[in-house]
Amino acid sequence: MAAATAATATATVAPAQPRTTTLSGVVSNLNGIPLPRVEVIIANTELRAFSNDSGVYEFTAVPVGRVRMIARRIGFEPEEARVSLDAGRHKQVDFEMKGVPELLDSVMVRE
């Protein structure tokens, strides 16, 4: 009786490449003073972050590719940046914002 030998093939599957990356930065005014509470958004997504008291914002799991970022806060001109994001590689994008005077309508308070 002939002995049958079965060959076993194993395939090595490379781990999937991450399709996201991390993104952070610092938002300051033109004098380099950090700006808190600046909203930073990734256009055409629902991703948004706010800068902390040190002006730092951070995103995790941002889709890779070319993105448009917008930083905005009342009293400052919006700033925009277009950046390319690579999978698994952190990107830092800093914003310098120019202050603009905001004239608000007067409000009358009655008792």
What pLDDT digit, counting tens, does each position of 62-78 carry? 999 999 999 999 999 99
Q: What is the DSSP string of 50-75?
A: E--TTSEEEEEEEESEEEEEEEE-TT
pLDDT given at position 5: 52
- Identity of the amino acid at 80: E
pLDDT given at position 101: 80
pLDDT given at position 67: 96
pLDDT given at position 55: 98
- Identity of the amino acid at 4: A
d(CA 48, CA 101): 25
pTM, rounded to two decimals: 0.75
Where the chain has pLDDT below 50, the residues are: none
pLDDT given at position 108: 85
Cα dihedral value 52, 55, 61, 64, nearest 10:
160
- Paired with 57 in beta bridges are 25
d(CA 48, CA 41): 4
